[in-house]
A and B are shown apart, each in its own frame.
Chain A
């Protein structure tokens, strides 16, 4: 299988070219528009100005990126752990699943604008409310992905394992859990893109530091360039987490490369 990998990686770079080109040309158009129209930077700053702000305020931005990153990662870690443990319980106890699933669905219907201030009101300005909000937003896609993934196990494989004398727990470990992994990573990729946004929103509602605070302060002092600088940092953060997820997926789901290679 090793011999397929360099090939796949080279193809990945070539496949990336259109994406890079389209993003670059969007920024170029933006820059050209700002320069030609002479629009005020207080309304729409050019990308070059935003980059300039990032460089000038790098110490400030970094100082606020760390708490956001901490909240995101801590919230996400909680969320993955809880989603996994719950998914196992729900898989072994279908009756519990029927009882609890509506609650999880309802948790996803709550508007964040209302929930976030309440959570801050209840848990204060520290890390706890941010972790809770990140977890609340990211946990459901992963839970659903895991539960659906277990269900997608080939019944013939399960029958085979039972014929070998495997217990229910063994069947879960040997067949259901690995079967759910592709689903889990699909859920993970969706969740991770919400995580940073949720953390920033929680900060925006009430915090001492974080990119959400940078955005709030920049808004209050009519500094769209600084706001966009924080937005760029938050996007890069999400992209980095997305990239890590993709690498993890590649490692865990190595066997899928084999399917493509055949």
Chain B
């Protein structure tokens, strides 16, 4: 079943055309990545979905219903973790539930069982500043998935991490995803990350962004704790070459 369908969507801000006739879809339980050069408008796509901005043309459907009639579809994880520094980790994780109006005790009861799977056990009462970068991202991801929204939007979730921590987090995310199968749309400019985690990848062009390639990854999972087959390596090369034609400099 198609969870999300974006058809022929475009948007400009003033004289700057950011998205041009973008079409893509995500099936239920599918992990889809959007790969594109920096500043191409990938994040604008998410802002369309969270209805921060409205498209100039085109349609967005959730489960066959127009987006404008749906308000509780996406759980969004921004580029930086956006944890509230004055809230303890537990209260940060339950933030979305609190906004939904769920009583604090119930929200905590819902979030607490996840803490060990997310490598945060024992840190419930800490403040974000006391966590490592990887732990902060895991807390932000837990805050996202605990909201029980149908689709997870992850905007370069590991972009701010050092290379080693990022690889650890990718392995961890793959394991969590295999266990939970959240319908996920991931924005990234990291080719290896996209190939390792996705069922399908859309490649966006430089601005104005439009889809210039779509590939399905059939390599069996889990992919990250063993060498990638040659087919996947070849795919990585192809995607990288495509992307490199799109960078302005």
Asked if A and B are interacting partners, one says: yes
Q: Which of A137-194 contact B (CB under 8 A)?
A: 154, 156-157, 159-166, 170, 174-175, 178, 181
Q: Contact between A1 and B74 (Cβ–Cβ < 8 Å)?
A: no
Chain A residues lying within 8 Å of B215, measured Cβ to Cβ, are none
Chain B residues lying within 8 Å of A258, measured Cβ to Cβ, are 126-127, 129-130
Q: Knowing A255-B85, A259-B127, A261-B130 touch, does A165 contact B72 (C-beta < 8 A)?
A: yes
Q: Knowing A160-B78, A258-B127 touch, does A165 contact B100 (C-beta < 8 A)?
A: yes
Q: Contact between B79 and A164 (Cβ–Cβ < 8 Å)?
A: no
Chain A residues lying within 8 Å of B76, measured Cβ to Cβ, are 159-160, 163-164
Q: Contact between B130 and A174 (Cβ–Cβ < 8 Å)?
A: no
Fill in one digit per residue for A67-86: 1 if any B CB lies within 8 Å of its CB, else 0. Answer: 00000000000000000000
Instruction: Kindly provide the distance from the CB of A98 to the nearest chain B CB, expressed in whole angstroms.
Output: 23
User: Complex: how many Å from CA A181 to CA B87?
Assistant: 13
Chain B residues lying within 8 Å of A261, measured Cβ to Cβ, are 129-130
Instruction: Kindly provide the distance from the CB of B101 to the nearest chain A CB, expressed in whole angstroms.
Output: 9
Instruction: Kindly provide the distance from the CB of B63 to the nearest chain A CB, expressed in whole angstroms.
Output: 18
Q: Contact between A159 and B86 (Cβ–Cβ < 8 Å)?
A: no
Of the candidates B47, B99, B129, the one whose C-beta lies within 8 Å of that of A161 is B99
Q: Contact between A170 and B82 (Cβ–Cβ < 8 Å)?
A: no
Of the candidates B50, B95, B126, B129, the one whose C-beta lies within 8 Å of that of A162 is B50
Q: Contact between B50 and A159 (Cβ–Cβ < 8 Å)?
A: yes
Q: Contact between A156 and B82 (Cβ–Cβ < 8 Å)?
A: yes
User: Complex: how many Å from CA A181 to CA B47?
Assistant: 29
User: Complex: how many Å from CA A255 to CA B84?
Assistant: 10
Q: Does residue B96 face the partner (Cβ distance < 8 Å to A)?
A: yes
Instruction: Kindly provide the distance from the CB of A253 to the nearest chain B CB, expressed in whole angstroms.
Output: 8
Size band of the interface chain A makes with B: 20 to 34
Chain A residues lying within 8 Å of B84, measured Cβ to Cβ, are 157, 174-175, 178
Chain B residues lying within 8 Å of A178, measured Cβ to Cβ, are 84, 86
Q: Does residue B147 face the partner (Cβ distance < 8 Å to A)?
A: yes
Of the candidates B50, B79, B86, B130, the one whose C-beta lies within 8 Å of that of A1 is B130
User: Complex: how many Å from CA A259 to CA B87?
Assistant: 12
Chain A residues lying within 8 Å of B52, measured Cβ to Cβ, are 159, 162-163
Q: Does residue B16 face the partner (Cβ distance < 8 Å to A)?
A: no
Chain A residues lying within 8 Å of B82, measured Cβ to Cβ, are 154, 156-157, 159-160
Q: Knowing A255-B127, A258-B127, A261-B130 touch, does A164 contact B78 (C-beta < 8 A)?
A: no
Fill in one digit per residue for B174-200: 1 if any A CB lies within 8 Å of its CB, else 0. Answer: 000000000000000000000000000
What residue in chain B is nearest A257 (Cβ atoms)?
A: B127
What residue in chain A is nearest B96 (Cβ atoms)?
A: A164
Q: Does residue B80 face the partner (Cβ distance < 8 Å to A)?
A: yes
Q: Does residue B116 face the partner (Cβ distance < 8 Å to A)?
A: no
User: Complex: how many Å from CA A160 to CA B87?
Assistant: 15
What residue in chain B is nearest A253 (Cβ atoms)?
A: B86
Q: Contact between A181 and B86 (Cβ–Cβ < 8 Å)?
A: yes
User: Complex: how many Å from CA A162 to CA B82?
Assistant: 13
User: Complex: how many Å from CA A166 to CA B72?
Assistant: 11
Q: Knowing A175-B84, A178-B86 touch, does A164 contact B99 (C-beta < 8 A)?
A: yes
Q: Contact between A164 and B85 (Cβ–Cβ < 8 Å)?
A: no
Chain B residues lying within 8 Å of A156, measured Cβ to Cβ, are 78-80, 82
Q: Contact between A166 and B130 (Cβ–Cβ < 8 Å)?
A: no
Q: Knowing A157-B84, A174-B95 touch, does A164 contact B100 (C-beta < 8 A)?
A: yes
Chain A residues lying within 8 Å of B87, measured Cβ to Cβ, are 255
User: Complex: how many Å from CA A166 to CA B99?
Assistant: 6
Q: Which of B52-81 contact A (CB under 8 A)?
A: 52, 71-72, 74-76, 78-80
User: Complex: how many Å from CA A164 to CA B52?
Assistant: 12
Of the candidates B78, B95, B100, B126, the one whose C-beta lies within 8 Å of that of A159 is B78
Q: Contact between B71 and A165 (Cβ–Cβ < 8 Å)?
A: yes
User: Complex: how many Å from CA A160 to CA B126?
Assistant: 21
Q: Contact between B74 and A163 (Cβ–Cβ < 8 Å)?
A: yes
What residue in chain B is nearest A154 (Cβ atoms)?
A: B82
Instruction: Kindly provide the distance from the CB of A66 to the nearest chain B CB, expressed in whole angstroms.
Output: 37
Q: 9 tightest CB-CB pairs across the interface, nearest first?
A: A258-B127, A163-B76, A259-B129, A163-B50, A164-B99, A255-B86, A156-B82, A164-B96, A258-B129
B interface residues (Cβ-Cβ under 8 A, vs A): 47, 50, 52, 71-72, 74-76, 78-80, 82, 84-87, 95-96, 98-100, 125-127, 129-130, 147
A interface residues (Cβ-Cβ under 8 A, vs B): 1, 154, 156-157, 159-166, 170, 174-175, 178, 181, 253, 255, 258-259, 261-262
A to B CB contacts below 8 Å, 23 in the list: A1-B126, A1-B127, A154-B82, A156-B78, A156-B82, A157-B82, A157-B84, A159-B50, A159-B82, A160-B76, A162-B50, A163-B50, A164-B99, A164-B100, A165-B71, A165-B100, A166-B99, A174-B84, A181-B86, A255-B86, A255-B127, A258-B126, A258-B127
